[in-house]
Structure 1
Amino acid sequence: MIDSTQPTQPIGPVTSQDLRARTTAKESQAQESQSDSKSSVTLSTLTKKIQNDDSRDVDYARVAEMRAALAAGELPLEPTKIARALVQDMFESH
């Protein structure tokens, strides 16, 4: 809660020297935390499996066909039908 009954005090002027000192301090802290950090990451078995999965979830040939049809104006877009399907999928997924 802000106490508006107390008078406020003006902030003193900020010099470029103050800004440089703050920037230098932040940079040195960032460098220290990077050099001191010896973190390691271990991937789970599932993550490794996903990374190495070469199955094709996307039919790239079909995607290329659809893009070409859209560009040529041969594929009609029905925004209402698309929106309805998206909403239905959203409620079925969760």
Structure 2
Amino acid sequence: MLRGQSREGVRAYTFGAQFVEVRIHRLTCEIRVPRMVGAFASGTIVNSLTAHSQYIGGMIWGLGAALEEKTEIDLAHARYVNDNIAEYHVPVNADVSRVT
């Protein structure tokens, strides 16, 4: 079996849409995400377990990006101040309680 050589010059794109239900506690302002749903168009999937893990991992990464990150822009120079992952907060198991 030739790996990748038969698809030389071919581009493959994957598309996805994620929907998230967000609840914010009125008094404490605690953010909860009780439900996340994703729909993906990936073409031919060779390993369904790997594909599922990639989808879930991408959704958790997006959740972390939305809730944990803060983008700071220097208005005088129109540049990002925090342009590396030194301050990046990765969601952990305590942040994502149940994934099915």
Q: If the length of structure 1 is used for normalisation, what is the TM-score?
A: 0.27
Structure of higher CA gyration radius: 1
* Greater fraction strand: 2
* Greater fraction helix: 1
Between 1 and 2, higher relative CO (CA 8 Å, sep ≥ 6) is seen in 2
